[in-house]
Amino acid sequence: MTRFDAWLRPTPPPQTEPPLDAAGRRALWLEITIVLLVTFGLSGLSGILSLIEDALAPGGLADQTVALNASRSEHGWIDLGRQLLGIVRLCAWAALGLYLLWRSGLGPAKIGLGRPRARADLLPGVGLAALIGLPGLALYLVANAIGANLTVLPSTIEEHWWRLPALLLWALANSGAEEVLVVAYLISRLRRLGWSENSSLLASSLLRGSYHLYQGLGGGVGNIAMGLVLGRYWQRTNRLWPLIVAHWLIDAVAFVGYTALRGHVSWLP
């Protein structure tokens, strides 16, 4: 098998547990359903409804705006508290996925969250961020220009002393929750159910795209592509840190960069 074929058709890790019986399969499907309904699955359904609602509104999608990070109160300290609660919620989602995997024998080290290493984790993460981030920006600009995407405002948080660290924490919480749940948890669970690597990767990527549909079709398609790249990298390397690093860098640059450049460059809304 060539290197290219190995990326297209990766070999799943060997199963060390006996096959699930009918009751075990039902229990695992129930677990997956509950986890997704309280995390990104429900967000995906909400994203679909948001896209339909935006498409039915007068004018094109590009004439509408959506803020990824917005102020949550006119009182600065209440706004900070609500921002932190949102960050904690995402961290709790990631902790739920890690706990359930650990209970099934897949501790952090077995899913690629052992001690991070610069060469194995940091450098690939930077490379993945560049591979995904630059084409992703181009896709957004094209989708917005043809009316297939809303105008995305990465941050509309009022200017407070805590705005920058809050945005960086949001980026970290987003990356941790998404990569743990949507990649490591979901693909591992679907493997246990006997799904192929390609089928589980597709399911993971479609889920990632669904909860970004509130941004428009461009946001959904771009995140499906991101999911295919990141998910396959994890399947091939079993290293999750590079995915978290890449995702954090993409979000941090978008959130902080937009805040710094807004009003200073003509092509930013």
255 neighbors 175 (Cβ within 8 angstroms): no
DSSP output for 124-170 = HHHHHHHHHHHHHHHHHHHHHHTTSB-EEES------TTHHHHHHHH
pTM, whole model, 2 decimals? 0.93
Q: Model confidence over 60-105: pLDDT tens digits?
A: 888 899 999 899 999 999 999 999 999 999 999 999 999 999 999 9
In this prediction, residue 24 carries a pLDDT of 95
**What stretch of H or E contains 197?**
helix 197-210
Q: How confident is the model at residue 189 (pLDDT cuts 50, 70, 90)?
A: very high
Question: What single-letter amino acid sits at 64?
Answer: Q
pLDDT of residue 267: 54
CB 136 within 8 A of CB 222: yes
- pLDDT tier, 15 (very low <50, low <70, confident <90, very high otherwise): confident
Q: What is the pLDDT of residues 122-160, one digit of tens each?
A: 999 999 999 999 899 899 889 988 889 998 988 888 889
- Residue 204: both structure tokens together: 């993971």
pLDDT for residue 1 is more than 60:
no
- What's the pLDDT at 89? 98
Lowest model confidence (mean pLDDT) among 7-16, 62-71, 202-211: 7-16
Q: Give residue 268's pLDDT.
A: 57
What confidence tens digit (pLDDT) does each residue in 93-104 have? Answer: 999 999 999 999
- Neighbouring CB atoms inside 10 A of 37's CB total 11
* 5, pLDDT greater than 90: no
| Predicted local confidence at residue 265, as pLDDT | 59
pLDDT at position 185 over 70: yes
